[in-house]
Structures are given as C-alpha cells and as structure tokens.
Amino acid sequence: MSERAKPRLDFIDALRGVAVVLMILWHTADSWLADSARSVSGHETTSYGVLRLLGGTAAPLFLLLAGVAHGLKSAGDARKGVAPRVALRANVARGLELIVLGYLLRLQFWAIDSAGVTMPLALLPLLAGLLLLLFAAKRLPKSPPTAAVFAALGAVLYAIGLVVLAKYQPTRVSSVLRVDVLQAIGASLCVLAVIEPVLSRAPGGALLLALSVTLATDSLGAIMPGALPEPLAAYLARWPTPAGVRTMAMFPLFPWLAFPLIGSLLGRHWGASARRGTLARDVAILGGVGLVGAVLSNESLAYELGWIWKIPWFIPTLRVMSRASTGIFFAGLCFGALALSARLGIGQGERAERYAPIRTLGRASLFVYWVHLELAFGVIATPLKRKFGLLEWSVGFVALTVAMYLLVLLKNGPWQRLVTWGVERVHSRAERRSPVAPPSP
C-alpha cells in the first residue's frame, strides 16, 4: 500500500479522546456541583441540563467505538487470512478481560471507599479470584486448556469471597457485582465475536440487530430478573427497583448492545473507505447524516410534539438513534478538525503526533477512566462533593483533565521505560540461566 493510500484513522483516537473529556466533564459535574447549581425552585438549571446532555454522550461513544474497533479488526483478520477460530478466541478473550477489569474496579471501590480493606477474609479471595480470571482471559487465545484451569480456580476463589462478603456485609454484594460500562463493553465484544460470521456476510444486518435490541428493551425489562440470578439478569436488562436502591443493571446489553452493533458496521465501512481512498468523503457524508439524525431524534423535540407519549416502548430506540447519530456527527467533526490542522501545518511531526492531547487521552481511555473515578467519586473527592458552583467546577474540571493528560504522559514515558527495562532484565537473566542447545548437525 502506498503512503498516499495509507489509511488515516487518527480521527477515531480523537473521537475517543472527546469521549474521555466528556466523561470527566460529566462525572465531575455529577459529583462536585452543589444543589444550587443543579436546580432552582425544583427546576433543573439550563447549565446543568447542558452538562448532562453533553456528558450523556460519553458512554454511548465508548460503546460505539468498541464496535468500530471490532469491525476494523475483524475485517483486517479476514484480509490476513486469520483462522476464524483463532480470531474468535482473541475477540472473546478481549471481551472477558474487560468484564474482569470491570469487576476489579467495583472491588477497588468497595475496598477503598467502603472500608473493604478491613475485611481481608472477603477481599483476598475476591482479589485473587479476579486476578486468576484475568490471567485466564489473557491465556485464552494461545492456550485454552491452561485458561480453563485458571478460570476454574479463579471462579472458586471469587465465589468463596462472595460467600464471606454476603455473610458479613450482605448489602455490599450488589455493588461488587454491579454491571457497569466495562462489563457492558466486554459482554458486547463477546456477542460480536460469536455472531461475527453473520456480520461478515451481511454487515448491514448489524443495523437490524441493533433495532431489534432497542425494541425488545422494555419488554425484557418487564420480566427481569425472573428466575435468573440478579448478577446474571443485570447483563440483559434493567428492572424496576425500590426507591433509594441503586440498580445492579447500570449498563445492560438491552439496549446498550445496539451501540457496538452500529459501531461494527461503521468500522468496516471506514476501513474499506480508507483502502479505497474515499475516507474523507464518506466520513463527511455520514457526519451530515448523523447531524440530521441527531436533530430528528432529539428526545426533547419528541416530547414537545407529543407523539412519544403514544408509543413509550419506542423511547429506547429513540435514545439510541439520538446518541449514535451524535457520535457519528462528532466523528465527522474530529476528522474535519484533524484535516484542517494538517492543512494549516498545525500539530505536524513525530513529536507533535506523540503528544497530541486529545488523541493521547483517547489512546489511554481505559487508564484515564480507571484513575479519574476515584478523584471524581471516591473518598479522595469527599471534600469536593456537592460543594462547587459553576465557576469552581469549571476550574476543577480543567485541572483534572490536564492532570490526567500529564499522568498519561508519565505512564507512557518514564514509567513505561522503567517497566520495559525491568521486563528486559528478567528476560535476559532467564536466557542466561537456560541451557544453550547444541547446534544441529
């Protein structure tokens, strides 16, 4: 492939970086803003409504981009001739890894913010079990039998920890097992991996599946949890809970699976466009379609016109249409911004590419997500919660965003070099200690 035809998909990293910024924006606003900045005389303030609207696009963007990455990777595997079974194991392993990381994050919140460290009888088996499950997920692509052994050991230890936790702190079990966005992304990737043969033969079927998922959301939620254990039912749909009780199903597959399904179609389309040399045109067209779709599916407009009250079961579909359309429109804006900066000669060169703030945050989205949550919601943020006006929050939001960027640079720079140096030293010592095989005759 010539340099001119080389696919330029940097806008995907930029779009993920936009999602990171919107995520920090909403989490800090949701946690730090005082009640007086949220509502006046029982009515939501305009500023808080705008923040909620912007922040509400972050999670859909992450799920949409997870689907984009899957679509790009699956199409690339097919071109390289990767065996379907090998690709399936790799994609499922990545999904399972994110699911385990999601539970590790929930465990971290319990341990740090709810004094879980004072219960080692529960914490240690829970942590050990999740670490073994994480190792099993990483081993799955290359050694399924080894992965199965470690997964079984991890599941047993994790179950023991849950039993102990249920005995001494039964109210904490639901928070440890809550299905959050990482579990939603991981489970979605597993689903996409399993149905990949269908998606590869009929990519447009992803839209039909996404529509089916959204239309079935309310009906499925009405029968959940049913006979299913709540931790499992939480992966499928959200069901009504008593007032003051936080649901376990924060991000169930119905309707959130619709975003990765749409994203998988986008990933295939953008990858093919890049190879054809029509990426700029196709992204621009889709961006325009996204803008029109976002306007037409605006929920406030639907309520004002009154038709949404007649078909309430269509609300999940409307919301997915609105947020997916907004994400596609944002993709067009990111592509246009990068193209304009390239034409003006801004941010060019290897050093500028390496330290580009938005793309840097986008490439480290999981790391930033993990770290910033403690600073926004954790015990460290206790003095800030519900204390800020808009001006103070704005300063704090910018400061935290810059801090996350600098922390990523530290992670990618000195810290990464230290880790690489340590790994190389271990490998070199292992090679020196291992006997050298005689040369073949």
What are the pLDDT tens digits along the chain (441 aa)?
Answer: 333 334 458 999 999 999 999 999 999 999 999 999 999 988 899 999 999 999 999 999 999 999 999 999 999 999 999 999 999 999 999 999 999 999 999 999 999 998 899 999 999 999 999 999 999 999 999 999 999 999 999 999 999 999 999 999 999 999 999 999 999 999 999 999 999 999 999 988 999 999 999 999 999 999 999 999 999 999 999 999 888 788 999 999 999 999 999 999 999 999 999 999 999 999 999 999 999 999 988 877 766 667 777 788 898 999 999 999 999 999 999 999 999 988 888 766 666 677 889 999 999 999 999 999 999 999 999 999 999 999 999 999 999 999 999 999 998 876 666 656 555 565 565 455 544 444 333
The span from the CA of 249 to the CA of 254, in Å, is 10
A 10 A CB-CB count for 160 gives 17
The span from the CA of 156 to the CA of 437, in Å, is 41
Say if 262 falls within a structural domain: yes
Say if 293 falls within a structural domain: no
How many residues comprise the chain? 441
Q: How many alpha carbons lie under 13 Å from residue 3 in its C-beta half-sphere?
A: 0
Say if 374 falls within a structural domain: no
Total number of domains in the chain: 1
Whole domain around residue 117: which residue ranges? 61-266
Say if 211 falls within a structural domain: yes
Residue 439, phi then psi, degrees to nearest 5: -65, 150
Helix (H) or strand (E) holding 253: helix 253-256
Say if 403 falls within a structural domain: no
Which are the contacts of 186, defined by CB distance < 8 A and separation ≥ 6? 94, 95, 96, 97, 98, 99, 100, 101, 102
Say if 331 falls within a structural domain: no
CB 376 within 8 Å of CB 31: yes
Q: What is the DSSP letter of 388?
A: B
